[in-house]
Structure 1
Amino acid sequence: MTGTFAQDFAREGFASPIRVMPQAAATELVGRLEEAERRLGREGFARLNAKSHLLYPFLWDLVHDDHILDHVAQILGPDILCWGSSFFSKDAGSSSVVPWHQDGTCWGLDAPKGVTAWLALTPSTPQSGCLRVVPGSHLSAVPHAVRNAPSSMLPLGEEVAGEVDEANAVNCPLEPGEMSLHHVTLVHGSAPNQATSGRRIGFAIRYIAGDVRQLGDQKGYATHVRGRDHGTYLLEEQPQADLEPAALRRYRDILRHSASLVQRQAAGLDQQPR
């Protein structure tokens, strides 16, 4: 972890924008996503959104993309696991938001050695509700509460319990094929998509260092993407075809197990009414 990139990331807690693929490749990925949504319906696909790289070979390839991992390795080191992945899609005019939060609050990691790669597949602008971050806020964990706001895109409904000084926040606009990286404890969020047309689509990939462990007496599941396997997680398997039956069976078992681990962490947060 040497050089200006890693030093800047250590100080600010994020890096953006980073070009990792041509715009045409991002557009192709949007087509693959829309094909999957047509097959299952948008609500049906949404139920498979968490760790969807375990069900679609093109997403498995994406979390292993060297153009992404080369930057992640500068922060986490040579041994890397993919802890999770999911799409964040906002329709134009929708009320969907990502409240201020720190990613690692409910992950249950024994050390804050993780980053999220947020890959833009369509233009992500202040008007369409791009990622917003609070530079330097990754240096300490802050209290969170489970508020379950109806507009929240976070499945556990968590958000920062206190006030966030938004005057310190900065936008991270991205063109298709660009990504941002943010630390597992960086305070971040995003506003609604106020554009008159078009979806704002991003794919978030959660990476952790290979020697990180899951808190508690149970191992979690993760995908080994680079370097040496330290044996800290149960390793996930590559799907051979879209929604293949064997992959779906594995996926359901993994999701049940993973949900129990993160819900255990969420149970320790303050519960607050909407």
Structure 2
Amino acid sequence: MATPSYKIVPDQAELDAIERDLKFYPGTVTNPKVLTTEQIEHYNQEGYIHPISIYSPEEIGEIRTYFDELLERVIAEGGDSYSISSAHLKHGKVWDMLHDQRIVDCVSDILGDNVIGWGSHFFCKMPHDGKTVAWHQDSSYWPLTPTKALTVWLAIDDVDAENGPMKFISGSHHVGHLTYRPSSSHEHNVLNQTIDNPEQYGEVIENHLQAGQISMHSDLLLHGSDANDSDRRRCALTLRFAAADVKAHLGWNGKGVLVRGEDKSGHWANNPRPEND
């Protein structure tokens, strides 16, 4: 299948024209490989799981060195620390992380036996860069249906209260798809949507992780992060997954690669590993 073209952020009118099923689908795996039944229940009730240890200090050190070199090249080409999106389609080592069976095992314990990896985006907050990520739901940006999708958030640097951790609104994924407004310029938002008064939907939970650990959260869970006002960088790689029976509109099926099981409909492009790296 040829890779279709797609927009990184679709126009709202394009999204509104798509009939999407925007309700939460709980994980139903009864014989999980690596997660506990308690973790799966926590995901279903609260919308997230954290922390899960994946990479050893040596492994995440190698990943960090790789990212540092990649970021240097991107900046030299005119990009910035948020520019490295759909990285698995361009960089073999990111493709490898999207396929890492230690990560896919965790995802499969939520989404089931047939899993597509379709997204990879480095969110790197440099010290004092002033950028926030306003409260939002991932599903507002994604032309996917139904919303059987989640994000794996891999900490490349240690993340704590000091350097702009991601925050969740626990249980907010049960509320459904929420109304948002366009972000104003004074918010310095990396994205372009803001949901106001998020605390009305649940408790704020900070996502503190050691480098090499991951969290997982539902595409309907409210989340965001404050600016990094510390002297330390805060870099993460988001890896996006969906059940293979999810349909992607606006050409986004061109991003998807099969990481577990079957894609019986052949909907997703399943591009091969990039030759670089």
Place the TM-score, normalised by the shorter chain, in its bin: 0.7 to 0.9
2:121 to 76, 80, 86: 86
- 2:222 is matched with 187
Offset at residue 174 of structure 1 (A): 0.3
Matched, 1:19 2:63: no
- Is 1:174 the counterpart of 2:195? The answer is no
Asked if structure 1 preserves the Cα contact closer than 8 Å seen for 2:81 and 2:124, the reply is no
Q: CA deviation at 1:40?
A: 3.8
- Which residue number corresponds to residue 271 of structure 2? 236
Asked whether the equivalents of residues 114 and 207 of structure 1 are also in contact (C-alpha less than 8 Å), the reply is: yes
Task: Write the distance in 2 (CA, Å) between the matches of 1:215 and 1:152.
Answer: 26
Other-structure match for 1:267 = none
- Counterpart of 1:28, as a letter, is E
Give the CA deviation at 1:77.
0.5
The alpha-carbon deviation at position 127 of structure 1 amounts to 0.9
Correspondence 1:220 to 2:232: no
1:163 is aligned with what amino acid? N
TM-score normalised by structure 1 residue count:
0.81
TM value normalised by structure 2: 0.80
Can you list the C-alpha shifts for 1:235-260, whole angstroms capped at 9, x where unaligned? 22310114xxxxxxxxxxxxxxxxxx
Task: For 2:145 and 2:90, locate their aligned partners in 1 and report how far apart those are by CA, in whole Å.
Answer: 28
Question: Which whole-Å CA distance do the structure 2 matches of 1:87 and 1:47 have between them?
Answer: 6
Q: Compute the displacement of 1:148 (Å).
A: 5.2
Closer, same or farther in 2 for the Cα pair 1:115/1:5, shift >3 Å? same
Equivalent in 147, 154, 165 of residue 112 of structure 1: 147
Describe the superposition over 1:132-170 as per-residue Cα deviations: whole angstroms up to 9, x where unpaired. Answer: 00111011111122225462122xx1222x321177201
Provide the secondary structure at the position in 2 that maps to 1:44.
coil
Match of 1:254 in 2: none
Map of 1:14-53 to 2, 5 A cutoff?
14-41=48-75, 43-44=78-79, 49-53=84-88
Match of residue 39 from structure 2: 5
Residue type matched to 1:136 in 2?
A: G
Unaligned regions of 5+ residues in structure 2, if any?
A: 1-28, 31-36
Q: Kindly provide the CA deviation profile for residues 54-76 of structure 1, in whole angstroms up to 9, marking residues without a partner as x.
A: 11111110010111111111110
- Residue 153 of structure 1, aligned match among 183, 190, 197: 190
1:134 matched to 2:166? The reply is: no
Amino acid in structure 2 at the alignment position of 1:146: P
- Secondary structure of residue in 1 paired with 2:217: strand
Partner residue of 1:198?
A: 232
Give 1:95's match in structure 2, choosing from 122, 127, 130: 130
Query: Helix, strand or coil for the counterpart of 1:41?
Result: helix
Q: Could you give the per-residue CA deviations for residues 167-202 of structure 1, whole angstroms, max 9, x where no partner exists?
A: 72011100000010000100000111121x221000
Please list every run of 5 or more consecutive structure 1 residues that lacks an aligned counterpart in the other structure: 243-274
Superposed CA RMSD? 1.9
Amino acid at match of 1:151: H
Q: In structure 2, how many angstroms separate the alpha carbons of the residues matched to 1:193 and 1:18?
A: 23
Number of aligned residue pairs: 237
Q: 1:219 to 1:35 in 2, by over 3 A?
A: closer
Cα distance, 1:103 vs. partner? Answer: 0.5
After the TM superposition, which parts of structure 1 deviate over 6 Å for at least 4 consecutive aligned residues?
none
Partner in structure 1 of residue 197 of structure 2: 163
- Tell me how far apart the structure 2 counterparts of residues 45 and 165 of structure 1 sit (CA, whole Å): 31
- State the percentage of identical aligned residues: 28
Q: For the structure 1 residues 192 and 135, does the alpha-carbon distance in structure 2 shift closer, same or farther, using more than 3 Å as the test?
A: same
